[in-house]
Amino acid sequence: MKDDFVKIWRLYLSEFIGTALLIGVGVAFVILDFGKGSPVTALIPSYGIRRVLTGFLFGSTGMLITFSPVGKWSGAHINPAVTFSFWMKGKIKGHVAIGYVIAQLLGGITGAFTLLLWGHIGASVAYGSTTPGKEGAFAAVLGESITTFCLIAGLFFFLGNKRLKHFTPVLFPFLYAIMVYFEAPISGTSTNPARSLGPSLVAGAWNGWWVYWIGPIFGAFIAVVMQVKWAPWLEIEVAKVYHFEHDPYNIFKIKEKRSNKWL
């Protein structure tokens, strides 16, 4: 019993560390590229180019975390929407998924506090917090739903294809570069409740906070439903983004009990 307790907490700790790094490093690129007084704003005056650069660097951060020991242990979900999607597919047990989400949220908060080190540059962009754009909250929900749908659909397409699955992490830099370029003015392109929670808490920016729960979860739900209905040939084997064979505790090798009938 004690050994099982230690084993499962290693997975939660990995998700905590991975999400903290994603926010602490990934969101730092938002501050670096858009913060008032940052040399990047003078070096690259184009907002569009900076959005592409920010998305690519944020996605690259996620990619490197996935390749790291964090990804080897927990699978590097580092996003409640990703964990929710794997749970819908029956690839991770419910109580483990809940633990993952709690670890991700705590990691997001912890990582966000490191953003305070950016001082007035960070404060000028509310430490990278995400809030709805001038189009309003409804547009932001739609934007978050679409971008999260693209994230999960792309993730499942790669994971379900034997030729592509080992390149899955490489998807993130390019996908986020595109999504941030087109969608960031609408909602900030979060796609991740933990990514939004941490900076919002640090900055005290709670405008439309609910958008970053409803949008990503709804987008993930639609992506899974569409995969099950229209692309059942995409076989998702384990709830991991990389290091597929590393499962010392048999956490991910569970049978799909629901068989997706409720979808």
Q: What is the pLDDT of residue 248?
A: 60
Segment 186-228, tens digit of pLDDT: 999 999 999 999 999 999 999 999 999 999 999 999 999 999 9
CA distances from 130 to 95, 181, 252 (A): 29, 15, 32
3-state secondary structure the chain: CHHHHHHHHHHHHHHHHHHHHHHHHHHHHHHHHHCCCCHHHHHCCCHHHHHHHHHHHHHHHHHHHHHCHHHHHHCCCCCHHHHHHHHHCCCCCHHHHHHHHHHHHHHHHHHHHHHHHHHHHHHCCHHHCCCCCCCCHHHHHHHHHHHHHHHHHHHHHHHCCCCCHHHHHHHHHHHHHHHHHHHHHHHCCCCCHHHHHHHHHHHCCCCCCCHHHHHHHHHHHHHHHHHHHHCCCCCCCCCCCCCCCCCCCCCCCCCCCCCCCCC
Query: Which is more confidently placed, 157 or 249?
Result: 157
Segment 91-136, tens digit of pLDDT: 999 999 999 999 999 999 999 999 999 999 999 999 999 999 999 9
Q: What is the pLDDT of residue 72?
A: 92
Whole-number average pLDDT of the chain: 93
Tokens representing residue 110 in the block: 């912890």
Segment 1-25, tens digit of pLDDT: 444 566 788 999 999 999 999 999 9
> Is the model's pLDDT at 257 over the cut of 50?
no
Least confident of 34-38, 68-72, 123-127, 198-202: 68-72
> Is the model's pLDDT at 159 over the cut of 80?
yes
Q: What is the pLDDT of residue 262?
A: 33
Query: Which is more confidently placed, 253 or 242?
Result: 242
> Is the model's pLDDT at 55 over the cut of 80?
yes
Query: In this structure, are residues 206 and 136 in contact, taking their beta carbons and an 8 Å threshold?
Result: no
Q: What is the pLDDT of residue 206?
A: 97
Q: What is the pLDDT of residue 7?
A: 74
> Is the model's pLDDT at 255 over the cut of 60?
no
Give the pTM: 0.93
Domains and their CATH numbers in the chain = 2-230 (1.20.1080.10)
Q: What is the pLDDT of residue 250?
A: 64
Q: What is the pLDDT of residue 249?
A: 61
